[in-house]
Chains A and B, each alone.
Chain A
Amino acid sequence: MIEIRDLKKIYRAGEVDVHALRGVNLSVARGEFVAVVGPSGSGKSTLFHILGGLTPPTSGTVHIDGRDLLAMTEAERTELRKRTVGFVFQKYNLLPTLTAAGNIAIARDIAGRPQHSDPEFDQILKLLGLEGRLGHKPRALSGGEQQRVAIARAVVNHPALLLADEPTGNLDTENSIAVLGVMRDLNDRLGQTILMITHNPEAAAYGHRIVTMRDGRIVD
């Protein structure tokens, strides 16, 4: 599913070259739930951004579903975000002017998918427990509800890979457990491949496997 070999990323901050990734090697099988842990500055977010097609790698090889990210143009990376990858962010990142349903629908619209009903997705909505909350705007939803809407939005186009960046970072324990439970259900029931960045060891324990990063490399 994901094959990363000797992945390097150097970006420029002012006049300084920052070596964010210094040769990452990682394989993730389809249907796996992998937690990526590590201190701040270890390169987790950069890895997340590269896998999500938000920024290009500097060197190495990154294959998602057999497609090489290094060779991709900007437009191809946009396509990748549309159909292959779904994001869940720490700050939920819902569009504040749209309702929960609207936030989900816009993702479908961007992917060019019809807005009519999708039985598989309806099942996911049930799993997420969002019935009765879809007509509300984000400001009327709790943090846990917002994050579950964000998860629904991330999987509405049935992406091959769900990338979650600190999905419980802004949530209390109860909501964190609920969100992590939903992610594990998605993985268990629907075989959703998930890569989750987290600082929280309890959250990381939900994954099948924990990968530790430090100084731009995977150390464990």
Chain B
Amino acid sequence: MVYRLVFENLKHRPVRTLLSAIAIGVQVTMILTLVGVSNGMLHDVATRSRGTGADILVRPPGSSILGFSGNMPEKIVEVVRGVPHVALATGTLVQAIGNLDSITGIHLDEFNQMSGGFRFLEGGPFNGPDDLIVDEVFARSRHLHAGQSIEIGLTWRVTGVVESGKLSRMFAMIDPLQDKYSAKDKASIIYVKADDPANVQAVLESLKKKLEDYKIYTVDEFVSLISVDNIPLLQRFIAVVIGLAVIVGFLVVFLSMYTAVLERTREIGILKALGASPGYILAILLRETLLLAMAGSAVGIVMTYGTRYLMGVFVPTMTAEIVYSWWPWAALIALAGSLIGALYPGLKAARQDAIEALAYD
């Protein structure tokens, strides 16, 4: 019976109910979109790392999982090549150019040999120091085609658009890139291919012995490390967004329920006159909040598909995933924020003086 009253109360003010559910949905969307983008971008990095065809990667001492811009002397590549069972080793330079974008300097021949080569959708490989190859996602995001120029800190000429999934979204010749960004003879990551998959572990051990302070991972190991759990800054950012989401949910439900309690003062008096205990009245408000939070969570999940679609259209370089495992967490966070928001109005209703409430017009 209480649920019928709760449903009827929600139906009685459809606009308020809808707006409250949408506002709760926004908090759920905030959380799910952030988690989706974090996971999507990390998975994207992982996919592109696998796309290099390398077995092992060597990074400078002290570099963090996603800190690609730390550099090491390029001559280390020769040291790596000297390790038994190393079939191929190629140095790359990752140059950040702002807005989370970066250009990767490569030795095209070596990279092609390791990865199996680019699949060009438009144009072809670079020939000059200002030439750039971009992947299809970046090209789509900037409406670029082969032959066009692009200003990203420096002016580059796009010679080719390639299929995504290999190392980076933008590629240039490594030597001119080193010159342009004062990184002469520097490399950020060395990609290594063993002569036989069975020798990968042996190569890894040898490299670790030779290059003691360097960060050396198999690609599988590196990919497994690319997760939110291993990036404290991202974890903190997600925690901040969750905190903000809880505050938004709290405020929305607080205002909605506070208004509802004021509006229903007389009804609360009626229930009290019928013998409803404070707990019974509080339970009505909390159940109403529970239903709002559930509806809001559903709305939020649907809106997450909307934000993913919009990001795909407007910011295609940011890959957003639908992270199903976070649905219950986002719903629980929304519910927690909502219940906290409903608590004060609920207690106010529960403590209402019956005679005063019945006299309320």
Determine whether the beta carbon of B355 is less than 8 Å from that of A153: no
Q: How far is the CB of B287 from chain A (nearest CB, A)?
A: 13
Contact partner of A96 (CB less than 8 A), chosen from B2, B267, B271, is B267
Which residues in chain B, 210-224, are within 8 Å of chain A measured between CB atoms? none
Q: Which residues of A sit under 8 angstroms from B266, Cβ to Cβ?
A: 93
Q: How far is the CB of B256 from chain A (nearest CB, A)?
A: 16
Q: Which residues of B sit under 8 angstroms from A117, Cβ to Cβ?
A: none
Known contacts A54-B273, A81-B273, A110-B275: A95-B5 contact under CB 8 Å: yes
Known contacts A89-B358, A106-B1, A109-B1: A82-B267 contact under CB 8 Å: no
Q: Quick one: CB contact mask for A47-77 with B, threshold 8 Å, 1 for yes?
A: 0010010110000000000000000000100
Which residues in chain A, 81-136, are within 8 Å of chain B measured between CB atoms? 81-83, 87, 89, 93-98, 102, 105-111, 115
Q: Which residue of A lies closest to B12 (CB)?
A: A97
Determine whether the beta carbon of B1 is less than 8 Å from that of A97: no
Q: Which residues of A sit under 8 angstroms from B11, Cβ to Cβ?
A: 97
CA distance A84 to B271 in the complex (A): 15
CA distance A172 to B94 in the complex (A): 88
Determine whether the beta carbon of B1 is less than 8 Å from that of A105: yes
Known contacts A93-B358, A95-B267, A115-B1: A107-B274 contact under CB 8 Å: yes
Q: How far is the CB of A25 from chain B (nearest CB, A)?
A: 23
CA distance A25 to B272 in the complex (A): 27
Q: Which residues of B sit under 8 angstroms from A93, Cβ to Cβ?
A: 266, 269-270, 273, 358
CA distance A16 to B355 in the complex (A): 19
Q: Which residues of B sit under 8 angstroms from A79, Cβ to Cβ?
A: 275
Within 8 Å of chain B (Cβ to Cβ): is A78? yes
Q: Which residue of B lies closest to A86 (CB)?
A: B274
Q: Which residues of A sit under 8 angstroms from B163, Cβ to Cβ?
A: none
Determine whether the beta carbon of A153 is less than 8 Å from that of B274: yes
Determine whether the beta carbon of A52 is less than 8 Å from that of B4: no
Q: Quick one: CB contact mask for A172-214 with B, threshold 8 Å, 1 for yes?
A: 0000000000000000000000000000000000000000000
Q: Is the interface of A mostly helix, strand, loop or mixed?
A: helix
Q: How far is the CB of A210 from chain B (nearest CB, A)?
A: 25
Which residues in chain B, 316-341, are within 8 Å of chain A measured between CB atoms? none
Q: Which residues of B sit under 8 angstroms from A108, Cβ to Cβ?
A: 1
Contact partner of B5 (CB less than 8 A), chosen from A54, A102, A115, is A102
Q: How far is the CB of B1 from chain A (nearest CB, A)?
A: 4
Q: How far is the CB of A98 from chain B (nearest CB, A)?
A: 6
Determine whether the beta carbon of A98 is less than 8 Å from that of B273: no
Contact partner of B275 (CB less than 8 A), chosen from A94, A98, A111, A115, is A111
Known contacts A54-B354, A98-B5, A109-B1: A81-B272 contact under CB 8 Å: yes
Q: How far is the CB of A179 from chain B (nearest CB, A)?
A: 18
Q: Which residues of A sit under 8 angstroms from B8, Cβ to Cβ?
A: 97-98, 102
Contact partner of A95 (CB less than 8 A), chosen from B270, B277, B280, B354, is B270
Q: Which residues of A sit under 8 angstroms from B271, Cβ to Cβ?
A: 95, 106, 110
Q: Which residues of B sit under 8 angstroms from A95, Cβ to Cβ?
A: 5, 267, 270-271
Contact partner of B4 (CB less than 8 A), chosen from A54, A82, A102, is A102
Q: Quick one: CB contact mask for B330-361 with A, threshold 8 Å, 1 for yes?
A: 00000000000000000000000011001000
CA distance A44 to B273 in the complex (A): 17
Q: Which residues of B sit under 8 angstroms from A83, Cβ to Cβ?
A: 275
Within 8 Å of chain A (Cβ to Cβ): is B149? no
Q: Which residues of B sit under 8 angstroms from A94, Cβ to Cβ?
A: 270
Determine whether the beta carbon of B274 is less than 8 Å from that of A106: yes
CA distance A98 to B276 in the complex (A): 16
Q: How far is the CB of B243 from chain A (nearest CB, A)?
A: 35
Contact partner of A109 (CB less than 8 A), chosen from B2, B269, B272, B277, is B2
Q: How far is the CB of B112 from chain A (nearest CB, A)?
A: 71
Within 8 Å of chain A (Cβ to Cβ): is B9? yes
CA distance A83 to B274 in the complex (A): 9
Q: Which residues of A sit under 8 angstroms from B12, Cβ to Cβ?
A: 96-97
Determine whether the beta carbon of B355 is less than 8 Å from that of A82: no
CA distance A81 to B355 in the complex (A): 13
Determine whether the beta carbon of A106 is less than 8 Å from that of B272: no
CA distance A111 to B280 in the complex (A): 11
Determine whether the beta carbon of A98 is less than 8 Å from that of B358: no
Q: Which residues of A sit under 8 angstroms from B358, Cβ to Cβ?
A: 54, 89, 93
Q: How far is the CB of A91 from chain B (nearest CB, A)?
A: 9
Q: How far is the CB of B86 from chain A (nearest CB, A)?
A: 76
CA distance A89 to B358 in the complex (A): 10
Sample of 12 more A-B contacts, CB < 8 Å, known A106-B5, A107-B274, A107-B275: A54-B273, A78-B275, A82-B275, A87-B273, A95-B270, A97-B12, A102-B8, A105-B1, A106-B271, A109-B2, A111-B275, A153-B274
Binding site for B on A (CB under 8 A): 49, 52, 54-55, 75, 78-83, 87, 89, 93-98, 102, 105-111, 115, 153
Can you list 10 A-B pairs, Cβ within 8 angstroms, ordered by A? A52-B273, A81-B275, A87-B273, A87-B274, A94-B270, A98-B8, A102-B5, A109-B2, A110-B276, A110-B280
**Closest 10 A-B residue pairs measured CB to CB?**
A82-B275, A97-B8, A109-B1, A81-B275, A97-B12, A93-B270, A54-B354, A107-B274, A110-B276, A87-B273
